[in-house]
Structure formats: structure tokens, C-alpha cells
Amino acid sequence: MKDRLIFETQKLKNGMMVYGKPWDVPFVIVRFFVPIGTRNNTDSIIAGSAHFLEHLMCSRSQSFPGKSQFKKFVSSFGGEFGAATSETFTEYHLSIPSAAFSEIFPKFINHIFNPLITEEYILEESGIIANERKRKGIWFPGDSKLGMHVRTGWQNNNPYTLRQIFGEDDDFSNMTPEKFYSLHCAYKDPRAHLFIGGSYDARLAMKTLEQIETKFNDLPVFWKKASWQKREYHEEKCVESDRHIYYLGGIVDSRDPFVFRGITLLGSFLTNNVNGMLYEWLRRDLGWVYNINFGASVSIAPNIGAWQLSLPLNDIGQVSHVRSKLHQKIYGAISDQEQIDLHVKEKLTKQIFNYQRISDVLDDQIFSLHYFGKISNEEESGELLRQAAYSSFLKRIYNTYWHPDVSGEFLALPINS
């Protein structure tokens, strides 16, 4: 089978990179990234500026001065246009029919690089962003009381404040067109890059981008490192259901893709619903759980990766039993090389079902580039998994990130208990 993660890559004369994935479909997905994000909202750059500038750029430009004029232009072709600001990048994305690519793509790039900003437009967006901030602020940085405790009461796992992301009303009053035009210069940076997939004219895409004169911009950077707020076992009333959710988790001080692969492999090995040890023990043998959840995350900021295992149990007695046996069970499972081999074989075989959509392929490689510094094809990804599939390596991962001496735990109790 042809490797579905191989991209056509091209470094342009101005330093920008183009990552292209031709695909026999009647549409094009465009994702363009400029190197300015939440982490740059510090020092001389007013809090919330990167996100606010994204709003301004989506709304108007020199070529499309009417409010949302470009978005409506794209929609008239049956396409979609939008944007998002992450910790390190501002992304502008476009989904359009291939037949309209030559008409829309040059205008898309022109729209991004030719802002139209006035005091009136800043005031106009202020209310919208204030409303967005209020919506996110209730349980920030989570989306519930439980999520907030996980990231602020259990771990300090929030690299950016709400103010750094969105800005406050006082920050809005200090924003001026001149400051935004100055910040927009950071868009014209050779680290800007394009991911594009579908049926498109690659020469047109590269020719359009090469017209942009670039210059490296050294923007200030600030984030907070992850740490433990209360690593030792504790109980917190923060669950709206009647379940008792036991959490075990850790903080990861590495963005090494091999370490990340080991952590995610260990999690899937223990929790998968076919032969995962924890799943078999807690559901099939004891009949105590319906599901088991595992997740791992990584961030651009150092020492900000984390993993979490959550076990939704029924009462305190079950929690006590699980806590007394859990680490012994985990270590026993990762000592069984035969079961590890079986799990990895199944994962590699199931990869045939991955990457059925161009959007999935783009997502995978954007994640790989932004968090690990390179794109990886299927063969490389599979080899990384095979290299991690050794009991000795998983034990090392366990001792470094999962062992009781380094991991944390807490019990989320029903609010009304």
C-alpha cells in the first residue's frame, strides 16, 4: 500500500515552506500558519493581541474592506474560510472546490497580508472578544468544575492565563491600529508555512506565496511551566454525576516523539477494550466500569506535556480496592512481552483504516511538525511504534512518568455526595 503520509515539500525563495498532498478529490483544503500566537502576548505586545489581530484579519482587508466580505466571497463558491489562534501560530484555513482554486487562493493570501484596521474596527471586535472571553472564563482552563480542578487544583497545567489569551477590557482600550500594523509585520516571517491537500495548482500556490517579502521577527515569549498543585491523593467534590472518578496522571518533561509514543502506547496497551489489562480487570472481571479513559497531551512549551488515566467507579470501596492493586497490575502487564507484541501487531494492522480523509492526513502531519519539528511518513511512524514495543522500554517509561513517586492521584466525588 502506498504511504499516505508522504508529502511534496518545497522551500520557497523567501524561506516559507509548502507541504502539499495531492489527492484525487474535487476540492482543496488549505491551512496557512503564521508564527505568532498566545505565547507572544507579553512584554510590549498587549495581552490578547494575537487573537484580536486574527479577528481583525478575518473581518476585513484592503482587498475586501466590507465586514466579512472575503468570507462571503468564499461562501459564494460553496467554500468555507476561518481562523484560529494557538499558543505558537495563527492559522487561516480555507476549504473550496478545486474549480475555484485559481480564483480564490491568490485572494486568500492577499487578504491575510494586506490588513485594514481602524479604531472603529477595533471597537467593533472588542465586544465580540469580550463575550468569547466570558464564555471561556467560567471554568477556565477547563470546561467544567472537574476540568478546572484537573488543571488548576491537581496540576498547574495551564501555560497561559485567560488574559494572555483574550486580553481584558483595559487591554482593548490600549490597542491601536498602529500597534496592530506593527504586530502584523510578524506575519511576513519565513517560518510561515502552508499545508495544502486535494486537487490544486501547486505552481500557482508557490508563485503566490513567493511574492511575499519575508524577514525573521524575534517576538517576546512567555508561558508558565507545568507543576503539581497537589500531587498527593485527595478528594474533591466536582462531578455532576453519581460516579466516583479516580484520576491517575503525570507531567512529562520531554517533547521527544519516542517518549510521547511510549506514553501513548502504554496507555492504549492498558485501556483498549479488546485485551487491555485495566479494561479486562475492571469491566470483565469485576464488572465495575463501563469505560476507561486515557489521554496524553504535549505542548510547545517545555515541561508542559501531561497524561491522565480516569477510572469512573461506583463507590469509595471500589476506589480503595483499585488504588491498592493498580500499580502492581500495571507493572505486571508491562512485564508480559507476548501481550505487548499482540497489542502492537493489532495497532499496526488497524492503521489501514487510518487516513481515509485528506483532513486527517493534514491534521496528523501538522501536529507532527508543530510539536516534534518534522513530518513523518507511515513507515517512520510504524517503526517508532515497533521500537517502543519492548517491555524494558515501557518499564522505563513507567518508572519515569507513572511510578507512584512521580505521578499524582485524586478522587473526583459527586458534588452532592
The answer to the question of residue 222 being in a domain is no
Domain end call among 167, 182, 210: 210
pLDDT of the residue at 193: 98
Same domain for 381 and 238? yes
The answer to the question of residue 314 being in a domain is yes
Q: What is the CATH number of the domain that holds 351?
A: 3.30.830.10
Q: What percent of the chain is predicted at pLDDT more than 90?
A: 93
Reply yes or no on whether the pLDDT at 303 is more than 70: no
Same domain for 233 and 203? no
Q: Each residue of 39-65: pLDDT tens digit?
A: 999 999 999 999 999 999 999 999 999
Q: Each residue of 149-166: pLDDT tens digit?
A: 999 999 998 899 999 999
The answer to the question of residue 216 being in a domain is no
Q: Each residue of 234-285: pLDDT tens digit?
A: 999 998 888 999 999 999 988 889 999 999 999 999 999 999 999 999 999 9
Reply yes or no on whether the pLDDT at 302 is more than 70: no
Q: What is the mean pLDDT of residues 9-30?
A: 98
The answer to the question of residue 254 being in a domain is yes
pLDDT of the residue at 377: 93
Q: What does pTM read for this prediction?
A: 0.94
Same domain for 248 and 126? no
Q: Each residue of 54-102: pLDDT tens digit?
A: 999 999 999 999 999 999 999 999 999 999 999 999 999 999 999 999 9
Same domain for 380 and 241? yes
Same domain for 284 and 139? no
Same domain for 358 and 297? yes
Same domain for 178 and 299? no
Reply yes or no on whether the pLDDT at 363 is more than 90: yes
Same domain for 112 and 231? no
Mean of all residue pLDDT scores within the chain? 96
**DSSP one-letter code for 46:** P
Same domain for 100 and 197? yes
Structural domains counted in the chain: 2
37: its cell numbers? 500566537
Q: What is the mean pLDDT of residues 342-356?
A: 94
Same domain for 203 and 127? yes
- AA identity, residue 49: S
pLDDT of the residue at 255: 82
The answer to the question of residue 215 being in a domain is no
Domain span holding position 252: 227-414
The answer to the question of residue 331 being in a domain is yes
Give the residue with greater pLDDT, 106 vs 299: 106
The answer to the question of residue 311 being in a domain is yes
Q: How confident is the model at residue 417 (pLDDT cuts 50, 70, 90)?
A: confident
pLDDT of the residue at 117: 98
Same domain for 179 and 42? yes
pLDDT of the residue at 246: 98
The answer to the question of residue 310 being in a domain is yes
* β-strand pairing of 27-34 with 193-198: antiparallel
Same domain for 235 and 193? no
